[in-house]
Every structure is written in structure tokens, then in C-alpha cells.
Structure 1
Amino acid sequence: MTDVEHLLRTSTPRVLGTLVRRYGDFARCEDAVQEALIDAATAWTRDGVPEHPLGWLTTVATRRYADLVRSDAARERRERAVFEAVPRDALLAPPPDAEPARDDLLELLFLCCHPALTAPAQMALTLRAVAGLTTAEIAAAFLVPDKTMGQRISRAKQRLVEAGARFAPPADPDRALAVVLHVLYLLFNEGYSASAGPRLRRPDLTAQAVRLTRELHARLPDSGEAAGLLALMLLTEARGAARTGPDGELVPLAEQDRSRWDRAAIAEGTDLITRTLSTHPVGPYQVQAAIAAVHSEAATARDTDWPQVLALYDLLERLAPSAVTALNRAVALGEVRGPRAALDVLAELERGPLAGHHRLFAVRAHLLERAGDRTAAGEAFRRAARLAGNVAEQRFLLLRAARCAAAEDFSATT
């Protein structure tokens, strides 16, 4: 990414926030900012970045917004009322030392993560309005056609209008923040383990999630869960480079080359979660970050403090019980008490929301292989591969199934 692209992407939420706060018309403001970004990409590449880029973008976006209002002849009355409401000095270039002082990131995140929207719509709108990605980039991230993603974003903006969403602090800030954190968490997870497509990871999505969560933490330094989520992302993404081999194949945690882990990110994440746990009430993201920190502290897979990991999963289950937490806890239980104890837990999960999910069968296969039942393990690996949407995961699971079959053949001939 060039310096101009990076500057435009990081400036987008501040400029959009300024316009939405001023006019309250999210759809038109977002269109106006996108047009200003196109103008800036051309002008800045040709003439260089102006001395006050945010002021430049805000001025151009304001003019584009006024143009959009004027051009809507079918709504002449609204056009006149809105245009009259535009402060005259807002259409003039700001003085040299006038950059937009207010940071509207938090309000913009709240708006994009409005509860009236579905989770996919929240993520798409967040990537478009806050992360500054184009519709084509978002479509590529979720493996859908540009037209489909464009329609999804348009419907999301229309739904905001229908729901009467306002650019203002929410009535229930704690609940709204929980939704924002969840959307950022989902965004990171999609980048870290893509649900479909040929690649295991989408570093562009994880980078956006880390950037936005870092900015959110800066805005809300007293939020233990914002800090916990940032620490979790840093500690998890620190392993990113070691999760794939030379040909993009999946490398499980126990087999990763830990010299490839990002030690600077691990140090930052560990320090952040250590300070947060000592100063804030414990929340689910903090506990997940603590689990990631335990893994990061182990020099080898054998050195992992599995009893501590299991204890943390026990705590996480009490704070935020879920089928995914129970599945991850089963893995830790298998390391502490043996695979058979963990398989008993999986039998219960098969009747819950994870029934038919490839990760459930992948964990079952792993535990069966450890228990010595390679025939059943191979079948579970193959079933997991059939259910997985990601090509890299499919290949990994089929290779594990082949390994089980080869071990069975070897044992039958010796």
C-alpha cells in the first residue's frame, strides 16, 4: 500500500464522521466522501499530499455533498432545506492550521454496528465506512461479486434510515460497545481463518481489525474489554506467519516454528493484558487474551501450561458460555486428562449448535488419533474436510486422514 493509499484509508472515518455529525445523512455523506477520496487519489498522486490533508478532504467532501443534494431535483424541497443548513464557512477552505479536531470514530462504529443490521451487514458497513475499503475489496474479502456486496451495503444504509439511526451516543453505551467489539472480533476471525476460499488467512482483514481496535482502545482507555480484544488480536496475529507453510498449507499450533512468531507483538499483547487484568473487571475477551498469552509464553508446544489453559477456559465458560468455548475447552481437557475424557465432552456437543460443523469433526479426529483409533480418526478427518469451506483447511484435513490410513496400513503389516 502506498503512502497516499494509507493516508486516505486512515482519514476516511474522520472525514465521514465529521460530515455525518454535521448533516445526519449517512448515505449521501458516505457517497460524498467516496467521491472526495477519488479526487484526492488523483490530485495527491499527481501534485503531492497537501499540507493539511484532513482539511482538504473535509472541504472537498462537503462540496460533493452539496452537489449531491443539489442534483436531486425530485427532492427540491429537501435539497433547499439541507443546503440552507450548510454553514457558509463550511464550503470554504479551512485556515492553514485548521484540521478537524474531533475524532468521530466511536460514533461511526456505533452507527455501522447498529442492532437493526445483521452481522454480515455490520461488518460490510464497518469495512466500507470506517476501514475505508472499497466495495470491490470487501466483495473480494467475502468471496461475493461486487454487485452483491454493493447491494448489501446499500440495503444496510437504507435499513439505518428505516430504523431511524442517529449519529449520536447510543442510549445503552455498554450494549452498543459489546456489539462493536463483537463485529471487530468477527472481522479479525474472518481474516485469521477465512471461512471460504483458497487462502487460510486474509492479513488485510486482520490488519484492519487490529487498526480499528487499537483506535477504539485509544478512545476508550478505561474499557477493559476493548484492551482485552486488542491484546487477543496482537497475541493471535503474532503467530500468523507460522500458520502456513511455503505452499500456503495449514500448520497447526503444535507444529509451528515458534522462531517465526512476532515477538514484538507478543510483548505488546502480553503487557497489555497483564496490566488490564490487574486494573479492570475480568471479561471474556481478556480471558481469551490470557489464554493466547499462555500459548505465547511456551518455548515449545510441550512446554504449554495446559492446566492453566484449562482453568482459563473454565472461567471463560462461566463468563460467556458458548459451544465454541466448550469445543476449545475440550481440546485443553484432552491435553490435561487424556483424549477419552475430551471425547465424552464432544458427545454432548454433537447435540448442540456445532452439530455438523467441520471444526467439531476436526477436533474429534484429533482426539481419536491421539487415543490410537486411527480408523475412526481418518473417517472423522474426511468428514471434516467435506464440511470445511476453506481450501487450505480441506487439504490439511485430507492429509491428516491419509496419515491415519498409512499408519493403519503399517500396523497391519508389522
Structure 2
Amino acid sequence: MELPDTFVAAHLRAEDTGMFRGLAHKDVRKSLRVGPVSMPELAPDEVVVAVMASSINYNTVWSATFEPIPTFTFLRKYAAQGGWAARHDRPFQVVGSDAAGVVVRIGSGVRRWKVGDHVVVHPVHVDEQEPVTHADAMLGAEMRAWGYETNYGGLGEFAVARASMLVPKPAHLTWEEAAVTPMCGSTAYRMLVGSNGARMKQGDVVLVWGAAGGLGAYAVQFVKNGGGIPVAVVGSERKAEAVRRLGCDVVINRSEIGLSDDPDPSPEDTVAAGKRLGNIIRRETGSDPHIVFEHVGRATFGISMFVVGRGGAVVTCGSSTGYHHEFDNRYLWMRLKRVIGSHGANLQEQVETTRLVATGAIAPTLSALYPLSEAAEATRLVQKNEHVGKVGVLCLAPEPGLGVTAPELRERIGSDRINPLRAFAPASSL
């Protein structure tokens, strides 16, 4: 197909970076625009993907609120390298760190992919000439989150990605089902299963905060699939029912442990909540948690450090309630606990994650689905934490349900098993 000079995408404008300054409430619907942007020139190691579907991640909320810093800062820093990197410094940024679609153009240096391939995009942008990349790409100084620290991400009709970021799309999934898996699925896999994370083993009790969200819903499945015992913490009965559908037997409502919405709990409140939580977990599982899956941050990190068992690990990949954590260090050193920092996933971990999805062992966590024209509304849903699982976005796919090339496998796995959370879509969803 002929590539257009412009295409429609959800994007931010550099001129808007100060629009929320001094405001307590930052509504992403005011900053995230959907409209035409220019098509970039293709580098030799890149492909253009016609994006059939994408999804919303929390980094798009950060991008659209220009916090903790405007992402245009990342683009300028990257572009300063010169060469092909210079294309990323534009007065707009196409955001989005997930995509499923069709390769429609390949650069002159691309070997393993061809026009027409169905792919999902691994949202980690690395420098293959950096030595440490060949040990673990996530350790590279030039590692960037695609569509957050780079331009031309997944929330548009087209996206530009390096050939080293592509993975075959699971053939039994629709475009929208495939699109919600890469970022959150591989991040949870690295944290729990891969050799770079907590290395969960059979029988481990794993406490999962925010278990009904994009990350947590995959974490619950990896724990269950790997022979562990997931313990979910959620904020409502609706979300409790969602994680039960994912196979979680031990579900705790935040109100049961006296955890308020205060993102800055006192040390006394932290210990009290930790004691209540620990009592419930021991009662239900017979053990303290061996692993705590953390991404909430300041509001929960002190509790996580308190409640994880002797010799256990707190593995963290984010801090949605604040980056500066407080905890009683005695519980860390005297009980030989560990803190593991985890960020994204390398390509091999993405491939291993996708293989589990492709066999039906792990299900997509799609709940809500919106058209590209309503990408800002979809992002607002995530910003307000009113979603369950993942929020998908249809881009070039004209309707849901398309893209399946292995109908026999899909029938064998079962549509209900593939879509355990679709019943939790809001009324505004497709």
C-alpha cells in the first residue's frame, strides 16, 4: 500500500506542556488530541506497522499530564544524538506503548520480517550496539519505553518500530485481544517468572497489589499458572469478582485492612495495616507472602516491606501513588528481605510471555474497548482507576473481533477463557 503523508493518531503537543501548571486536577482529555500527524522517514532497521488495535497504559496518563516531567524532554535528549534519532524531536508526540497490526513497510536493513506479517510490538526501544544490551536489554543506558520516551508510538493508524521490537501475533486472538498483552504482560512476567525478577516457584504465596488492574491481572495469572498462590488486594467487590474470574482464590478488599485512599500513611498506620493484612494471609494460606508484587508505591510500599515473610522479596516496577517510599528498615535487614527493581522486559522475556498467551495458558485481560477517536476518554478511565484489566483501543480495525487466523485453536481454548474480563466493560465501551 502507499503510505500517506499524514495519519491520525492520539498525540500531545509541545505547546501544551504548561497547561496544568498549578492545577490540582489534570484531566487528560484536555491534553490528549486525536488528529493528523506527519509520517516520518523510515530508518533501515525499522518497519511501519498498520496498527489495528492498541491499548492504554499508565505511562500514557503520565505523558498526558506532563508528569513527572514533560515527555518532550525525553524526545529532545534522544534527538540530540543526531542521525535517525533527530526525527523524534517534533512539536507533537504520538503516544502509546502497545500495538497489534500488520507490517506494511520494511527498512533496507530488516531481515526477519516482511510486508504482510501480523505482529505485536514489544514496547522496549534499545540500542543493539550497546554491549550490555546483549546480556539484558533493560540494563542499557539507551533503553527507552516506546511511545513514552520515543515518538511514533502505538495509539495511531500507523506506528514506527524497530525490527527488534516485533513478535508474531498469537494467531487465535483478535487484534484488540493481542494488543493488550505486550507491555503489562511482559512486565509482570519479568517481575515474577523470569530470571531477572523474583523467580517465583511452585507453592509461593504472592501478594498482588492492584490485582484487577492492567499489571495485576497478568500477575495473578502468572502466579496461578506457575503453581503459586495469588493473594489479591482490590478496592471494590466488582474488582474482587474480576480477579476471581482469573482464578484467584484469596481476595482481600482494601477496607478489610483499614487501608484508606491516603497516599501518605503514617508509620503507625502502615504497621497496623500490615498486621491486619498479614493475619488474613496467614489464615487463608498458612504462610506469610514469599513475594509481594508492587507497583502502587508510596501508599503501600511500607506495608509490603512489613508483610513479606522472612527472606522474601518485594519486586517493584512503579509508583503510581508517589515515588518517595518510607518503610521501617529493621524489617528489611533483620529479616533478610530483598527489594528487586524491575522495569519492562527484554525481547526474550516478551517472546516467552507471548508464547504462554499463544498456547492459551495466559489470557488477555481486555475489558473496555474504545475507538481511536475516543482515546482520550479511554485514558481518562485509567487515570481515574475506574477500569478493570486493560483498556483497548481500535485503530485501523473497523470493528471488534477481527484478526483471528487460527479459529480452530480459538474454539479449542474457548472464547470465555480468552476473554475473562469483558463482562466488566463500562456501558460506554464498544
TM-score range, shorter chain: under 0.3
Higher RCO (CA 8 Å, separation ≥ 6 residues): 2
TM-score, scaled relative to structure 1: 0.26
Determine which structure has the larger helix proportion and give its number: 1
TM-score, scaled relative to structure 2: 0.25
